[in-house]
Structure 1
């Protein structure tokens, strides 16, 4: 009888460990999928950032082309046109338009760069946090696997029927204990 009680207690412990193991395995799977999603987001942001940097390099390399190409030059003044008239009618409006376009492009570029850097930082911190959580779950999973091995040893030693009956008794005791606590709390 004493041995049966010990077996029942061990069965309770093993049952709890099995439930914990199942829960941790589920949490680990969820964390891994979340980790994969965030890693993919991080990779996407990094690819977009590389694309922007390559475009920036392309523009920097081709600036000289835009500076020297005749289509980007101001036309020569018409005969008998004064410098003031040329400046007011052709040069000033063209320069103002170009300044507005360049200003808009630069503002958009810097805003996108800030957004991408912020997204990259958020994704990196999330990946790091998930990696840490995953590490802790993996350690707990190793411990629970050892408990499962101990349970298998116990079943082998006592026999499957004895161990299963002890576990069932332990579950029934747990449920009864839980119901008693619940009924006491409802009475209060």
Structure 2
């Protein structure tokens, strides 16, 4: 009986410790989820920025602008800016995928 009581007490203590660890993990996951929700809200705001902000709009060519000069002075810098943005977004996407994999573990 005494050995059974001691074994049960040990199991109870182990379960309490596991419960504390699980509560800590749960709080960490809640924090990660809150950060992801905030990131999603920021992302939605940024997406609207790309649709509406003047710096992300390709202007109409001037009346006397040649196609070559419009391409060289306006379009190519804009395309370069878009490429940089896409690279940065790709890097962020890879980081987020790695973080999701770590959270799943």
TM, length-normalised to structure 2: 0.71
Distance 2:18 2:55 in 1: 52
> What is the correspondence of 1:88-103 to structure 2 with a 5 Å cutoff?
88=76, 90-103=77-90
Could you list the per-position Cα deviations for residues 4-38 of structure 1 after superposition, in whole angstroms to 9, with x for gaps in the alignment?
A: xxxxxxxxxxxxx1122023212211221122212
- Give the Å deviation of 1:43: 2.7
TM, length-normalised to structure 1: 0.44
The total of aligned residue pairs comes to: 101
Distance 2:91 2:26 in 1: 28
The one of 40, 45, 57 equivalent to 2:41 is: 57
With a CA cutoff of 8 Å and minimum separation of 6, indicate the structure with the bigger relative contact order.
1
What's the counterpart of residue 3 of structure 2?
19
Could you list the per-position Cα deviations for residues 96-150 of structure 1 after superposition, in whole angstroms to 9, with x for gaps in the alignment?
A: 111111211222223222322x14xxxxxxxxxxxxxxxxxxxxxxxxxxxxxxx
Q: 1:72/1:91 Cα in 2 relative to 1: closer, same or farther (>3 Å)?
A: closer
Distance 2:10 2:2 in 1: 12
Q: 1:53/1:32 Cα in 2 relative to 1: closer, same or farther (>3 Å)?
A: same
Structure 1 unpaired stretches of 5+: 1-16, 120-188
